[in-house]
Amino acid sequence: MGISQYIKEIGRGKDGARALSREQAGDLLGQVLDGLVTDLEIGAFCLSMRIKGETAEEMAGFLDATHQRLACLPDNGSGTPTVVLPSYNGARKLPVLTPLLGLLLAREGLAVLVHGTPTESARVFSAEVLAALDISAHDATKSIAPGTLGFVATEALCPALKRLLDVRRVVGLRNPAHSLVKIMNPCIGKSLVVSSYTHPEYAVSMAQTFELIKANAMLLRGTEGEVVADARRMPQMDAFIHGQRRLLQEAQAGTLASLPDLPKTPDAISTAGYIRAVMAGTQPVPASIERQVEHILRLASEL
């Protein structure tokens, strides 16, 4: 046991590091999640992968290990797909509107799972906005009914994954867990994962991973890393159905002609008030989010 043999491969620097096979990556992360390695080894793993970057095979192996340890939500038995919205980046300058996306989808009759946890101290996260909307945490052992939104904290899905995410608070750098949580699927039954990236290189690696694992997913550059489309712009959106990629939406240059009246500050109370206004129809749905909802509904009908 131990992961020193893997660290020797991935820890040789940007040019000298070697990629792990899917099986090796799964074994490595499995040991990390099971608490079989030291804090020093975890730090070496995180820093090595941050320098090297993850391949699609490695991400698939990390996903294998993660899914074996997830407390997955059961199928709701209705045949209605569950839309999975990971929410880990939170709001820095713009309000976090992932809860709005989820509520709009639930209003259309889909089951919606939002999962996440705070990963930094200086941002506002979906859990805070949902609490301000009087939506409490969902039991991870129960299915989500069509037409409803459930929020499950990461620590309820996999406590070890939460601990790996928290390494960032110590070393100040992201690690593979921050990509994993955006592409993992905690649901049994028909589902669609909506995922986002912050930098172009992650768009490539995440797309390759979705293709490799034959995922049902949507991928876009969201709002400050969140999976909801930027309310000020129309981003490119790509679909993956059983791993087959196709373009859903071309990006439009510049800002949209009609901009929404977003809250002046991204705090949870202001954001919740704006979301309530949109859901009540007193504020319009931002055009890019409305288009994202339309695309997700079409994808869900294909599953």
For residue 67, count CB atoms less than 10 angstroms from its CB and return exposed for 0-12, middle for 13-18, buried for 19 or more: middle
The residue among 275, 6, 66 whose CA lies nearest residue 186 is 66
Q: Any idea what DSSP says for residue 139? A: P
For residue range 53-77, list pLDDT tens digits in order. 899 999 999 999 999 999 999 998 8
What is the DSSP track for 170-183?
HHSS--HHHHHHHH
The alpha carbon of 263 is separated from its chain's Cα centroid by a whole number of angstroms, namely 24
What is the predicted pLDDT for the residue at 198? 84
Residues 6+ positions from 198 with CB-CB distance below 8 Å: 89, 221, 224, 225
**Number of CB atoms found within 10 A of residue 141's CB:** 11
Structure tokens at 287: 């055009």
Burial per residue of 26-61, b for 16 or more beta-carbon CB atoms within 10 angstroms, e otherwise: bbbbbbbbeeebeeebbebbbbbbbebbbbbbbbbb
Tell me the CA distances in angstroms from 125 to 31, 194, 226, one per residue in order: 29, 17, 10
Pairwise CA distance, residues 201 & 244, whole Å: 20
Each residue's pLDDT expressed in tens, for the chain with a length of 303 residues: 689 999 999 988 877 889 999 999 999 999 999 999 999 999 999 999 999 989 999 999 999 999 999 999 999 889 999 999 999 998 888 999 999 999 999 999 999 999 999 888 889 999 999 999 999 888 888 899 999 999 999 999 999 999 999 998 888 888 999 999 999 999 999 999 999 998 888 889 999 999 999 999 999 998 989 999 999 889 999 999 999 999 999 988 878 767 788 999 999 999 999 999 999 999 999 999 999 999 999 999 999
Per-residue H/E/C for 34-91 = CCCCCHHHHHHHHHHHHHHCCCHHHHHHHHHHHHCCCCCECCCCCCCCEEEEEECCCE
What is the predicted pLDDT for the residue at 177? 93
Which domains does the chain possess?
4-67 (1.20.970.10), 82-302 (3.40.1030.10)
Polymer length of the chain: 303
Which spans in the chain are helix H? 4-10, 13-16, 22-33, 39-52, 56-67, 98-107, 126-132, 154-157, 159-165, 167-171, 176-183, 200-212, 268-280, 287-302
Pairing of strands 237-241, 217-220: antiparallel
The alpha carbon of 104 is separated from its chain's Cα centroid by a whole number of angstroms, namely 18
**pTM of the complete model:** 0.94
The alpha carbon of 24 is separated from its chain's Cα centroid by a whole number of angstroms, namely 24
